[in-house]
A = this chain, B = another copy of it.
């Protein structure tokens, strides 16, 4: 692994392709670089000019007085491979390739990217790009980019009165969007550390920079902008590292919709993964997804200002002097899933002393203008924060004028020091600059939208809870080596599809569906005998790898009782199967007890092209078919995580008492999901798809019935063919 420190912390920078024309990008980058007090050396490299923007220029990177630490390359794409090679030979250990025209442009460009990657590896160079806007190391005042956001005129790199004590870094696959974060956060006085854009990621990718910054330990909050993750395993490893370190990853995932995906494909030459799979992975590693800049910056503001003071739950107290604004904030809180409970009697009594009769202490606590005038915001917030009914406080203010807050500042600071619960502010007017400074000094994050404030509180509570849950050692017991080996042996034999009875056999090694007695028979008499042994109504189903959808083929009959009915059914399903697929090899007929009633669930394992095998669960019927109400998670997961996944379903309440049915055995379903996920994880190389459809979830304590099963093996030859073609 090359040293990313050489790239982000160079002592000297060569700008290859630098120009004196500051209207063009080749001039802009040098102009911006020099406009900030970066302490290192800057060498323009130009084939045509001996002086660029008043600096002595060098004809080539190998003509520099000493090898530069970092080369910034902005020459036409076709010259890049040779130029990078020259950098390597000259002993330069890091490069940023700004030029466009690579993989986004077709085969030739893709080959050039492969060359770049190979050269980077050969010389152990840290290479970012191509097709990036560059990066900024704010602490070093180094802006190696051509973003308007880095213009000196856009404002200082470092605020006088930063929000909180922490630093925030941006890592973005998109150049324009990456630098827009610092631009848009400037009025909020965030302390940025790095803004890095990674573009086509020929060599270094988002995960590499994130890994470096986590090791460095100076960044407290990360803003990631992702089009498509290049190396999923690396991303997962680094995301877990961030989770363990308690450094929140706030992620914007672009290309979530069909027109967005269309543009991703043309833009960075990487196919966007399916959004649901991304979300499943984000959930698994505690990433916080934001819809847009403002939502992401709002969440970052909460973490920056509150540091370790994350809410232990979702209960919010709202302080307001405007009734209407308090209502709107309560609506915003409820909309994102926060609770706004009526406060306890002791807290209400303490508040009522200060509130006129036309206000209210219930929550939202409306002190009225008179009440807050007497109390001050700090004292008001303190009284509410002391309530055992709330985990955090939101104060509704008008930040148009700063005088009142100015007077309150010492008490606000004291409150931030003493109160373990976050106290955040929403202003319904636009804030004066001075107000922002005051609140930054006080340690209270200020939000200009109710939704943003509520989202931040929700994200912080959720992050804390999820982190605790995710860091708990997962109760995934390693499966016995014997079962693993047995299944592996079974999976490497036979054709690509395992029909139900074979799938059951394989799955039962992991205890999946093993309670469900089912007998494979080869004659009507055997069928009748099997049915009699079962002793209650049965189903009969033809077994053939060539007929995976048995019901469609008419090869299933249900609810049969008595020898005659079973024998007749045996004949009928076989006849139907032969009509449907005359050449199919038939393995026999499965005789199986009818499952007792319960909720019908679809359970499956599917392969996502980016993230590999994912477990899927959904409530059978219209909820899946009309609304796509399914939940996904990477495998393996333990029963607790499976239960959390079930709770994500829109129709989850159907597992509770419903119509005349008692509550369902969700615990047994969760255990089944955990076992299936373990099976999938153990045999990820051998399988592409598992379908348990339906699974019937019985009443509490009564377990589940796996009514049907199908396994499609991974076609490793096809995988290799596809790999070769890419």
Contacts and interface: CB of A to CB of B under 8 A. Distances in A.
A621 B626 CA distance: 13
Nearest to A183: B429
Interface in A279-314: 291-294
A430 B323 contact: no
A445 interface: no
Interface stretch (A53-61, A137-145, A256-264, A587-595): A256-264
Q: Taking each of A183, A363, A430, A658, which has the highest tally of chain B beta carbons within 10 Å of its own beta carbon?
A: A430
A625 interface: yes
A331 B430 contact: no
A470 interface: no
Given A176-B324, A654-B626, A364 B429 contact: no
Contact of A148 (B104, B183, B331, B400): B400
A108 B140 CA distance: 67
B627 A650 contact: yes
Contacts of A131: 358
A333 interface: yes
Contacts of A619: 622
Contact of A622 (B100, B104, B621): B621
A363 B322 contact: no
Contact of A360 (B260, B263, B430): B263
B327 A255 contact: yes
Contacts of A104: 323, 358
Interface string A174-186: 1111111001101
A204 to B, nearest CB: 18
A324 B175 contact: yes
Given A324-B174, A366-B267, A621-B622, A334 B260 contact: yes
A151 interface: yes
A332 B292 contact: yes
Interface residues of A, number: 95
Nearest to A451: B292
Contacts of A430: 183-184, 186-187
Nearest to A185: B430
Interface in A351-402: 356-358, 360, 362-364, 366, 368-369, 398, 400-401
B626 A268 contact: no
Nearest to A654: B626
A293 B342 contact: no
Given A293-B449, A330-B260, A331-B255, A148 B401 contact: yes
Nearest to A340: B259
A461 interface: no
Contacts of A173: 324
Nearest to A334: B257
A428 B180 contact: yes
A403 B40 CA distance: 31
Contacts of A257: 330-331, 333-335
Given A263-B326, A267-B324, 7 more contacts: A256-B331, A256-B334, A257-B330, A257-B334, A622-B622, A623-B626, A627-B627
30 contacts: A25-B369, A100-B358, A102-B358, A148-B398, A148-B429, A151-B400, A174-B322, A174-B325, A176-B325, A176-B428, A177-B324, A178-B324, A180-B429, A256-B331, A259-B333, A259-B340, A260-B328, A262-B363, A266-B323, A266-B366, A267-B323, A267-B366, A292-B449, A292-B451, A293-B428, A619-B622, A622-B651, A626-B654, A627-B627, A627-B650
